[in-house]
Amino acid sequence: MENLKKIKILHLDSNHSLLWKQLEELGFENHQDFASTKEEIEAKIQDYQGIVIRSRFKIDKVFLDKATNLEFIARVGAGLESIDCEYANAKKIHLIAAPEGNRNAVGEHALGMLLSLMNKLNQANLSVKNGNWIREGHRGHELEGKTVGIIGFGNMGKSFAKKLRGFEVEVLCYDILPNVGDQNAKQVALEELQQKADVLSLHTPWTPETDKMVDKEFINAFAKPFWFINTARGKSVVTADLVKALQTGKILGAGLDVLEYEKLSFEKLFDGEKPAAFTYLLETENVLLSPHIGGWTFESHEKLAQVIVDKIKAIYFPTKETAELKRVTGIGGFFFKSKDSKKLIEWYNKHLGLKTDQYGSTFWWKDKEGNDCSTQWSPFSDDTTYFSPSKKQFMQNFRVENVELLLNKLKQEGVTIVGEMETYDYGKFGWILDPEGNKIELWEPIDKAFQ
Ligand X SMILES: NC(=O)c1ccc[n+]([C@@H]2O[C@H](COP(=O)([O-])OP(=O)(O)OC[C@H]3O[C@@H](n4cnc5c(N)ncnc54)[C@H](O)[C@@H]3O)[C@@H](O)[C@H]2O)c1
Binding site for ligand X (CB under 6 A): 78-79, 99, 102, 106, 151-157, 174-177, 180, 203-207, 209-210, 231-233, 257-258, 292, 294-296
* 312/319 Cα distance (integer angstroms): 12
Q: Are 317 and 26 in contact (CB under 8 A)?
A: yes
* 75/73 Cα distance (integer angstroms): 6
82: DSSP letter: T
Q: What's the closest the beta carbon of residue 284 comes to ligand X, in angstroms?
A: 21
Query: Which CB atom, from 226 or from 316, has the smaller least distance to ligand X?
Result: 226
Q: Which helix (H) or strand (E) holds 108?
A: helix 99-118
Q: What's the closest the beta carbon of residue 390 comes to ligand X, in angstroms?
A: 37
Contacts of 249 (CB under 8 A, 6+ apart): 225
Question: Which residue is at the shortest CB distance from ligand X?
Answer: 154
Query: Which CB atom, from 221 or from 276, has the smaller least distance to ligand X?
Result: 221
- Taking alpha carbons only, the member of 39, 66, 226 closest to residue 151 is 226
- Taking alpha carbons only, the member of 244, 243, 242, 274 closest to residue 261 is 274
Q: What's the closest the beta carbon of residue 202 comes to ligand X, in angstroms?
A: 8
Q: What's the closest the beta carbon of residue 173 comes to ligand X, in angstroms?
A: 9
Contacts of 119 (CB under 8 A, 6+ apart): 140, 141
Query: Which CB atom, from 12 or from 106, has the smaller least distance to ligand X?
Result: 106
Query: Which CB atom, from 218 or from 336, has the smaller least distance to ligand X?
Result: 218
* 50/93 Cα distance (integer angstroms): 9
Q: Are 389 and 437 in contact (CB under 8 A)?
A: yes
Query: Which CB atom, from 203 or from 439, has the smaller least distance to ligand X?
Result: 203
Q: What's the closest the beta carbon of residue 251 comes to ligand X, in angstroms?
A: 19
Query: Which CB atom, from 205 or from 330, has the smaller least distance to ligand X?
Result: 205
Query: Which CB atom, from 153 or from 380, has the smaller least distance to ligand X?
Result: 153
Query: Which CB atom, from 304 or from 442, has the smaller least distance to ligand X?
Result: 304
Q: What's the closest the beta carbon of residue 153 comes to ligand X, in angstroms?
A: 5
Contacts of 268 (CB under 8 A, 6+ apart): 262
Q: What's the closest the beta carbon of residue 190 comes to ligand X, in angstroms?
A: 8
For residue 98, CA distances in Å to 89, 131, 286 come to: 18, 45, 33
Q: What's the closest the beta carbon of residue 154 comes to ligand X, in angstroms?
A: 2
* 163/166 Cα distance (integer angstroms): 8
Q: Which helix (H) or strand (E) holds 341?
A: helix 341-352
